[in-house]
Structure 1
Amino acid sequence: MKNKLLYKLRSGKNPKIIYYSVNVWRLLMPKVLFRMRLYKRLASLSCRKDKEYIEKRVDYYNKLSGIVQLPLSAPHLAEHKMGGQKVYFFDTYQYTRWFPDSYRWGFCPGDVTHVPEYPSIVKSRPLTENNENSVVMKLDKVRHFIFVNDKKPFTAKKDKLIFRGKVKGKASRRAFMEMYFHHPMCDLGDVSKNTTDPQEWQTEKKTIREHLDYKFILALEGNDVASNLKWIMSSNSIAVMPRPTCETWFMEGTLIPNYHYIEIKPDFSDLELRLCYYIEHIDEAQQIIKHANEYVSQFKDKSREDLISLLVLNKYFKATGQKLAP
């Protein structure tokens, strides 16, 4: 019990009490205050120096073109209520409150790895062709969007790869553990509960700060994306992973292998070769860290992130034939 409490205090993750406090306060604010400001907020795009960049991101998240009909069964925003997945409600409500309750939409909360039947708001989508119905927004951000201030240089870190994560029910992670659990260049551990996987894999969680003692951090996809990828790429360690198959607001599909992260084969067979290469080529490793840090920096402007979110939703409602009255 004591270890669990210490971990929660030192984990390095976003404190949920602050997240929930802010979002409960949002629920108390009248929606009309935001709807009165919507036109002005959207129009602010026209005078921004980064207008082209913002439009590019909006079109990346929302690929809809022309007019797409929603089914009559699509719910209205007025029906958007808090359910079991509270973070998905809060993270969408932050922006849906700016739009009329009469608008209809599709919404798929959770770890989504399929393309919805009709245009819907999702946290994650598969990196496949014809995924236009998956309109990505920044959801479950309290868990996924964590950045760190890593003061330990890459050269002072251990020449090893670390992984702490849930293995239960995740075939790729299980395969990796079977291949490398006893490897001298790896420090691996399974933090799953009630698992039938080997007992020797079981271990306590490590804080983010403890991960940063290692040069390399494994970022293996779980149900959808690797949730630790964001904070790894903000650090002085390097993410090691196969090419992603899913993406979120972090636009994992735009990441460049061996430029933003170290790519390994989907079967993990070249792991040792790749680690040894970057241990011997420090300059190239530090260039990857530099590029990763630069990539992460684009997500740190909160005002711009909020504007992009509103523009993604606005484009969604326009593309589904719903327009605000002038």
Structure 2
Amino acid sequence: MSDSILYKVRSGKPIKFWYFIRKYMGLVIPDSWYRIRLEQRLCRVSSRPDYPYIQERVNYYIQLDRTRPIPSENRLAHHQSWLHYTGPIGQYRSNMFHKAYYFDQHDITRWFPPSLRWNYCPGDVYFTPDDPAIVKSRLISSQNQNSVLLKLDKLRHFMYVKDTKSFTEKQDRAIFRGKIRQSRLRTKFLEKFFGHPMFDCGVVGKNEGCPDEWMAPKRTIHQHLDYKFIMALEGNDVASNLKWVMSSNSIAVMPRPTCETWFMEGKLRPDYHYIEVKEDFSDLEEKLNYYIAHPEEAQQIIAHAHEFVAQFRNPEREELISLLVLKRYFELTGQWESSTHP
């Protein structure tokens, strides 16, 4: 069986076809059914034993410190890797951007009146919008208040693995497969370590603008799990493989992240949840050799990573947090009266 067929059949990734079938079937339920249940759904949140934790997450995702109105004019602007929509939530359509972003936002916006307005920037956002906007990713910065995180592009980003191979059973090497294009970080890594015996690395895709010798066969997620270390390098924004790597018995290796998503990459602790290396990768080989020689410390990082991932695996709580984030967004854009709503 060829590697390309193997990749499609056994990549370990969720099957998009069934995901979209399920989402289209969900559209049969009228949005009004969700809206009439919103108050009942949210009024019980404060009685939950994990309510302080829920509040902490909501405060992390939306850090607006004052009321900021949404511009009154509708807007739709397409960019290379993201879109900017300003208008009523009920007028956002699936053909405006990738369908995954449509369904992910609709899972939450359908609970609210369709006339409420927002700035919505689906895609790879690596800047801070001028006005408060719902985004998938934002810069890790004290000046990113206009970037309000929602759990978006879930099928691609929020997937986990069941790894049956222990750390000590894996190869004493690191693996990287990914696109490169304009990623300075990935280019620097490949310039330094392509062809190095300790690394199985290469570029996948088309028209990547890199040396031909860097192109390499794709590797399934299952094949990645044969390695002790998996490089999690930022591309346009975050490293999309970080979530499933941290759910495995391998260790994510990366410089300190500059962007974050719903996964709260900004809360990750270096050499506790992942192995941190310098941006020029000058200490990469030394760090990997250290953890190969100290497997008990590597196991601790894996345990801490599993603990961090576990907090995102409660679907009911994740939905509640999403609803509260969006409600807070409408409050802080002057569209939602807290005194008359949950």
TM-score (norm 2): 0.93
Aligned position for 2:34: 34
Counterparts of 1:189 and 1:100 in 2: how far apart (Å)? 47
Q: Which of residues 144, 169, 173 in structure 2 aligns to 1:160? A: 173
Counterparts of 1:196 and 1:126 in 2: how far apart (Å)? 26
Equivalent residues of 1:160, 1:187 under 8 A apart: yes
Following TM superposition, by how much is the alpha carbon of 1:26 offset from its aligned partner in structure 2, in angstroms? 2.2
Superposed CA deviations along residues 276-305 of structure 1, whole A, max 9, x for unmatched, are 110111111000000000000000000000
1:282 aligns with 2:295: yes
Aligned position for 1:143: 156
Aligned position for 1:6: 6
Q: Which of residues 206, 210, 234 in structure 2 aligns to 1:221? A: 234
Aligned position for 2:110: 97
Deviates more, 1:167-176 or 1:140-149: 167-176
Aligned position for 1:75: 87
Counterparts of 1:173 and 1:291 in 2: how far apart (Å)? 26
Counterparts of 1:155 and 1:144 in 2: how far apart (Å)? 27
Counterparts of 1:46 and 1:197 in 2: how far apart (Å)? 53
Counterparts of 1:224 and 1:32 in 2: how far apart (Å)? 35
Superposed CA deviations along residues 100-121 of structure 1, whole A, max 9, x for unmatched, are 0111111001000011111110
* SS of the residue 1:118 aligns to: coil
Superposed CA deviations along residues 126-158 of structure 1, whole A, max 9, x for unmatched, are 011210110000100100011011010000000
Aligned position for 1:43: 43
1:306 aligns with 2:319: yes
TM-score (norm 1): 0.97
Aligned residue-pair number: 326
Equivalent residues of 2:179, 2:208 under 8 A apart: no
Aligned position for 1:291: 304
Equivalent residues of 1:26, 1:94 under 8 A apart: no
Give 5+ residue unaligned stretches, structure 2. 74-85
Amino acid at match of 2:266: G
Superposed CA deviations along residues 10-56 of structure 1, whole A, max 9, x for unmatched, are 00011111210121122221011000100011112111000000000
What is the percentage of aligned positions where both structures have the same residue? Answer: 55
Following TM superposition, by how much is the alpha carbon of 1:2 offset from its aligned partner in structure 2, in angstroms? 5.5
* SS of the residue 1:188 aligns to: strand
Give 5+ residue unaligned stretches, structure 1. none
1:215-294 to structure 2, matched below 5 A, reads: 215-294=228-307
Following TM superposition, by how much is the alpha carbon of 1:168 offset from its aligned partner in structure 2, in angstroms? 2.5
Equivalent residues of 2:183, 2:235 under 8 A apart: yes
Aligned position for 2:77: none
Counterparts of 1:24 and 1:192 in 2: how far apart (Å)? 29
Q: Which of residues 185, 194, 198 in structure 2 aligns to 1:185? A: 198
Q: Which of residues 123, 139, 163 in structure 2 aligns to 1:126? A: 139
1:208 aligns with 2:221: yes
Equivalent residues of 1:217, 1:232 under 8 A apart: yes
Equivalent residues of 2:3, 2:218 under 8 A apart: no
Amino acid at match of 1:6: L
1:54 aligns with 2:66: no
